[in-house]
Structure 1
Amino acid sequence: MKKPIVSIVIPVYNKAAFVRETLESALGQTYPNLEIVLVDDGSTDGSFEILKEYFAKYPDKIQLIDQENQGVSVATNVGTAAARGEYIQFLDADDLLSPDKINRQIKLLESQSESVLASCEWRMFQDNPKKSYPIPYGVFRDFNFGLDLLLQFWNHQEMNQPGVYLTHRSLIEKAGPWDESMTINQDGEFFTRVLLHAEKVLFESKGNVYYRSPGEGNVSQQKSAKAIKSLLDSYQCYEREVLKFEDSKRVRIALKKVYQKFIYDVFPHYPDLIAKAESLIQNLGVAEKTYIGGPKFQLLSKLLGFKNALRLKRFLG
């Protein structure tokens, strides 16, 4: 039986310092039937020249698309549309995959329906993946429903790096494209929709994604008002999508914690956006007290209240 094609979709914008290592990681996969779809999003640092070099060397394995700068979501959607694979592996242009990552996940999915998603562990590193370190999260396990994984994220302020997933094309088609209007947390919003359509999530315990610790130029490190507004917009998308799927007390409690985490992250800046997040919390109608942050901050919140605990935390630095 012929193995399904897996497409590794890599949007690239000004990653000349790292993209060679990422490409070697993709080309070094032990899974035999794969293609790499590279979308250069108007790079100005020599990234495109590196991509052309690899395309010339591996023309049967690489698709190369060049476009004007339109943002990572547009580039990802273009790459996904061009991909020939039955399964899609998204990969940031500065992150790495362990050599057996895709092969192990394909084996896990072989006997499953198209609505089952595979995940794996992600580890942080700076310069050398051999010196990567684990993240102590509770997401590294199987989940009977995609929603259960989302609730784990939201209740415990955890996340998955998008490269951990191997996703069947039909699941992506059900979820819809990446939202091209967003400037931050595009992956979180997109995979919220994917997970809501997922029958279950199977965790592969030995393959890894190596997530390069973000630097100052990383999109996820944006602190502009536009980026912060886009972040809150993405959380409202969570709310809209998940309540269509299940409008329950447990979901509303988890959403309340999402908005609390937003306030926790931006306080005392952007008071208008904080006020909006507080209004969104009120609209959820959750009477129960909810607490986020580490044990010390949660204790402070219980003693002083959430906002006073934040004021004290900022005062103490």
Structure 2
Amino acid sequence: MREARNERREPLVSIIIPVYNKADFVRESLESALAQTYPNIELVLVNDGSTDSSLAILEEYRSKFPEKIMLIDQENGGVSKATNVGIRASKGAFIQFLDADDLLSPDKIENQVRILEGNSPFALASCEWVNFKNDISQFIRLPYGVFQNYETGLDWLLYSWNKQEMMADSSWLTSKALLNLAGQWDESLSINQDGEFFMRVLLKSEKVIFDPKSKAYYRTLNETSVSKQQSYLAAQSLLDSFRKYQNEILNVEDSKRVRLALKRVYMKFIYDVYPMYPNLIKKAKDLMWKLDINEKVFIAGPKFQKLSRFIGFENALRLKRILQ
């Protein structure tokens, strides 16, 4: 009886899992969610028009765990739309996002709920994320500086943009109240939807609390982030997401440190897409110029930065292209 009473007092955590053609991996992700040591969870599964056997697998799990799983089946509309549908259907006080091929350490949600207890509902919990392919015991760690506490979400953003670091969606645990402030996932974007969404979440958050015990496991498939943006429309959408960064963050703080970080964001875009799509590169350069930051900044690895200092950013890009 004591366990039942304790469970009823625990705030509900909604784990939102959008699924599109992930039949090879989704069972493992569902098992990871169901294996959480935190007792009061619901899984909100949104099948986004899968054409493989994903829906049958989701229906199987829903029939096994009807008290824990809500299943929504819809026509394909993209990950942002599916995630928004999941958020609206969720009942939890906290939201955990999980891609249909990624995994969580069993104590992840419990640790982060405990960390957030007693804090403002606008605090945000994070944890380390690691890369793996098939076996999570063979994960690869990343030496990232974002794996620490930050006094404000703005501080977290500026560090990540300056260092070109990122956070996997599944690393965060957010209150529903904070998500409501940030707004929906942007359904107009086809790439970096999560980066743009969590940019807004972080700008609304009062602080970021790092959980040193938990892990989110990010499955690396054959397609890299750079290869995903090899189409013109994807690159255009990526640049659009960065413009949205600028519009949002300058409304919170318009300062030199913010504009320097934005300059690095646009430089990284040019670095990633060069020499393709000259018109998008020109747009990125124009956006950089309008920031009115004359101070030189350097991006990418130590060798490229050294070369940029010696011959300039654009000449270093040209030389890099020749040597590839």
Deviation at 1:226, TM superposition (A): 0.6
Q: Which AA in structure 2 matches 1:298? A: Q
Structure-1 separation of matches of 2:299 and 2:288:
14
Number of aligned residue pairs: give it.
Answer: 317
Confirm or deny that 1:42 pairs with 2:25. Answer: no
Alignment of 1:88-237 (within 5 A): 88-216=95-223, 221-237=228-244
Partner of 1:286: 293
Query: Cα gap change, 1:188/1:72 in structure 2, threshold over 3 Å: closer, same or farther?
Result: same
User: Tell me, which stretches of 5 or more residues in structure 2 are unaligned?
Assistant: 1-5
- Does the CA contact (< 8 Å) of 2:230 and 2:273 recur in 1? no
- Match 2:313 to one of 303, 306, 314: 306
Deviation at 1:214, TM superposition (A): 3.1
Partner of 2:277: 270
Q: Deviations over 1:158-199 (max 9, x none)?
A: 100111000000100000000001000000000000000000
Deviation at 1:216, TM superposition (A): 3.2
Q: TM-score, normalised by structure 2?
A: 0.96
Structure-1 separation of matches of 2:296 and 2:21:
44
- Does the CA contact (< 8 Å) of 2:226 and 2:272 recur in 1? no
Structure-2 separation of matches of 1:294 and 1:214:
23
Structure-1 separation of matches of 2:290 and 2:223:
35
Q: Which AA in structure 1 matches 2:165? A: E
Query: Cα gap change, 1:220/1:311 in structure 2, threshold over 3 Å: closer, same or farther?
Result: closer
Query: Cα gap change, 1:201/1:131 in structure 2, threshold over 3 Å: closer, same or farther?
Result: same
Deviation at 1:220, TM superposition (A): 7.7
Q: TM-score, normalised by structure 1?
A: 0.98
Structure-1 separation of matches of 2:71 and 2:165:
34
Q: Percent identity, aligned pairs only? A: 60
User: Tell me, which stretches of 5 or more residues in structure 1 are unaligned?
Assistant: none
Structure-2 separation of matches of 1:210 and 1:304:
39
Q: Which AA in structure 2 matches 1:137? A: Y
Q: Which AA in structure 1 matches 2:157? A: L
How large is the Cα RMSD of the aligned pairs? 1.2
Q: Which AA in structure 2 matches 1:12? A: V
- Does the CA contact (< 8 Å) of 2:13 and 2:92 recur in 1? yes
Q: Which AA in structure 2 matches 1:186? A: Q
- Match 2:67 to one of 53, 60, 74: 60
Query: Cα gap change, 1:113/1:174 in structure 2, threshold over 3 Å: closer, same or farther?
Result: same
Structure-2 separation of matches of 1:45 and 1:218:
24
Q: Which AA in structure 2 matches 1:193? A: R
Shift >4 Å, 4+ stretches: 217-220
